[in-house]
Amino acid sequence: MVKFATPFLRSSMVLAAAAFAVAASPAVSDETGKQEYMNYCSTCHGDTAKGDGPIAKFLNVSTPSLTTLAKQNDGEFPLLKVIQIIDGRTGMGPHGTLMPVWGDRFKAGSIDSANEYGAEVIVRGRILSLATYLETIQEQ
C-alpha cells in the first residue's frame, strides 16, 4: 500500500480518482449534476438556484443564489471552495449551520454498495458532478 506524506495529498488523490471516475463513466453526463441539484439542493436554493426554494422562507438565514458565485469571485468559479462547502466535512459551513453535510449523507447511502474507499470515490464523484453543474449555470 502506498503511504502519502500528508492528508492533503491523500485527499487530493481521492479527488483526482473521483474526477477520473466521473469523467470515465458513460452514465455521468451534464444531466447527472443537474439531477443531484434538483434532488438535494433545489428545496432551499430553488429550481433556478436563485435562493428562492420553497423551504428558504422558513430558514432563519438567507439562502444565497448559486448563480452568482463566479461573479462574486472576480469572474472565476471557485470550484474547490464549492466542492468543500457541498461536502461539508472540512468544516467550511456556509450560511450558518443549516447547510447539510452532504459528504456524510452521500457516504452513508453508499457504504452498503461499496467498501469504505469505494463509497468515498462515489461521494466525491457526486459532489464533483454537482459542483460542475453549478459552474454551468453562472450568470455572466
Count the domains in the chain.
1
Residue 16 has pLDDT above 60, yes or no: no
Per-residue HEC secondary structure of 62-119 comes to CCCCCCCCCHHHCCCCCHHHHHHHHHCCCCCCCCCCCCCCHHHHHHHHHCCCCCHHHH
Nine-digit cell at 55? 423551504
- Give domain status of residue 116, yes or no: yes
Domain span at residue 128? Answer: 32-136
pLDDT band at 24 (very low <50, low <70, confident <90, very high): very low
* Residue 94 is assigned to a structural domain of this protein: yes
> Where is pLDDT greater, at 112 or 100?
100
Write down the pLDDT at residue 127. 92
How far, in Å, CA of 130 to CA of 132, rounded? 6
CA 26 remoteness from chain centre: 20
- Residue 100 pLDDT grade (very low, low, confident, very high; cuts 50, 70, 90): confident
Higher pLDDT, 34 or 25: 34
Residue whose entry in the numeric block shows the C-alpha cell 449534476: 33
Nearest to 106 by CA among 93, 90, 91, 125: 125
| pLDDT at residue number 29 | 60
pLDDT tens, 51-73? 999 999 998 888 999 999 999 99
Residue 108 lies in a domain: yes
Evaluate whether residue 74 is within a structural domain. Answer: yes
Is position 47 within any domain? yes
Model-level pTM? Answer: 0.74
Q: From CA 6, how far away is CA 9, in angstroms rounded?
A: 5
Residue 21 placed within a domain: no
